[in-house]
């Protein structure tokens, strides 16, 4: 052996590989089902969107993103027809992001299922 062994990836690197692999598979499946306009960055909003609406500041806090980033993502999703802004029922000065139910977005998207063996063979790419 030489003095320069290749270091094993740490837990953070391994977790990131799993995250990116799942993300690639999820968005590829969504694209196959006709949701090809949703990009992975939209997950910061879509993962925390509630049926009763949610403020951008709450989305920012939950996702760990800046409020300006969340506002931009809501703008994009609003243009695409997935969310809309409505007045907050408790404070009309504030806005909530609400999911829109339309024929395309109300289709039940099937989440990809993987066996335990599949996860073991997953590599980052």
13-35 pLDDT, tens digit each: 999 999 899 989 998 998 999 99
Predicted TM-score (pTM) of this structure: 0.68
**Amino acid 2: pLDDT:** 55
**DSSP codes joined into one string, 78-118:** HHHTSEEEEE-SS-TTSEEEEE---TTTTS-PPPP---HHH
Task: Render pLDDT for 67-85 as a digit per residue (tens, 0 to 9).
Answer: 999 999 999 999 999 999 9
Cα of 108 vs its chain's centroid, Å: 16
Q: Is 36 helix (H, G, I), strand (E, B) or coil?
A: coil
Whether the CB-CB separation of 54 and 96 falls below 8 Å is answered with yes
Q: Which helix (H) or strand (E) holds 55?
A: strand 54-55
User: In terms of Cα–Cα distance, which of 45, 44, 25, 33 is closest to 109?
Assistant: 33
Q: How far apart are CA 91 and CA 89, in angstroms?
A: 6
* Mean pLDDT computed over every residue of the chain: 81
Higher pLDDT pick, 58 / 122: 58
**Amino acid 117: pLDDT:** 42
Task: State in Å, rounded, how far the first CA of the chain is from the last one.
Answer: 29
């Amino acid at each position: 052996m030489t003095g320069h062994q290749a270091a094993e990836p740490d837990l953070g690197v391994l977790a990131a590989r799993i995250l990116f692999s799942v993300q690639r598979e999820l968005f590829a499946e969504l694209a196959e089902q006709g949701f090809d306009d949703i990009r992975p960055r939209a997950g910061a909003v879509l993962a925390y969107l509630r049926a009763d609406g949610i403020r951008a500041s709450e989305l920012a806090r939950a996702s760990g993103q800046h409020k300006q980033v969340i506002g931009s993502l809501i703008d994009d999703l609003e243009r695409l027809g997935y969310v809309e802004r409505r007045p907050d029922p408790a404070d009309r000065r504030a806005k909530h992001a609400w999911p829109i139910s339309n024929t395309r977005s109300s289709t039940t998207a099937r989440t990809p299922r993987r066996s335990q063996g599949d996860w073991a063979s997953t590599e980052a790419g």
